[in-house]
Amino acid sequence: MAEKSLADIQREVDAYIGQFKEGYFSPLALMARMSEEVGELAREVNHYYGEKPKKPNEEENSVEMELGDILFILSCFANSLNIDLTEAHNKVMNKFNTRDANRWTRKNGEQ
């Protein structure tokens, strides 16, 4: 499968949601959905990397699928508010590259 940019993902999600009269949920509902999905990711991480094994009758799921669900909801949230995730990412990376430029020990030993 071809690699997709964040813009591609946002357009694909928008085309999917655009099929339905209901459209995007409200920001508050999307926040609740995001919280729900992050909780499901936490549960999977705990099962795979933590001390809590799955119950024998518990549905099989994966960290990959939960991250995919979060990406879908994140795209819905951004689209509903007309936020370009690529631009948001660029702004955040600029913040980390300036504010936190000397916060961590670099592998090459330089500051």
C-alpha dihedral, 71 to 47 to 42 to 91, nearest 10°: -50
Residue 76 in any domain: the answer is yes
Residue 88 tokens read as 């948001």
What percentage of the chain has pLDDT greater than the value 90?
68
Residue 86 in any domain: the answer is yes
- For residue 109, name the pLDDT band (cuts at 50, 70, 90): low
Residue-wise pLDDT for 42-92, tens only, equals 999 998 898 888 888 877 788 999 999 999 999 999 999 999 999 999 999
Residue 106 in any domain: the answer is no
Residue-wise pLDDT for 15-32, tens only, equals 999 999 999 999 999 999
Residue 32 in any domain: the answer is yes
Residue 78 in any domain: the answer is yes
* Per-residue pLDDT, 22: 97
Residue 35 in any domain: the answer is yes
* Per-residue pLDDT, 111: 55
Distances (CA, A) of 33 to 12, 14, 27, 72: 19, 17, 10, 11
* Per-residue pLDDT, 110: 61
- For residue 2, name the pLDDT band (cuts at 50, 70, 90): confident
**The whole model's pTM is what?**
0.86
Residue-range definition of the domain harbouring residue 93:
8-98
Residue 105 in any domain: the answer is no
CATH code assigned at 64: 1.10.287.1080
Count of domains observed in the chain = 1
Residue 110 in any domain: the answer is no
